[in-house]
Amino acid sequence: MSLLQSHYRTCNLCEAMCGLVITTTNGNIDKIEGDKKDPLSHGYICPKALAYKDLHEDSDRLKFPIKKVKGNWEKISWEEAFDFVSDRLVDIQEK
């Protein structure tokens, strides 16, 4: 059984922040359209927003956090990544 879903998002590829409707089937992007109900973009999107599908499906896109350890990139858990970032932010704020 196919699972068809519509996801309402905001494009963050430029300062316009256009409203998007991303239609997926079983997690795969079928269509990207402007959200006609968006109060700022009124359904308009630029070519950058249309590129979301290519960005999402790019084989080089990171799908998990990584950390450089002794000169090499290693996959880490999301929990470890969030802990690392929060610890670093505390250190920065204390300075």
pLDDT given for residue 16 in this prediction:
87
pLDDT given for residue 69 in this prediction:
93
Q: What is the DSSP string of 39-93?
A: TTTTT---HHHHTHHHHHH-TT---S-EEEETTEEEE--HHHHHHHHHHHHHHHH
Taking the domains of the chain in order of start, what are their residue ranges? 4-57, 62-95
Tell me the mean pLDDT per 10 residues along the chain, length 95.
Answer: 90 91 93 95 91 90 94 96 95 92
* CATH for the stretch 4-57: 3.30.200.210
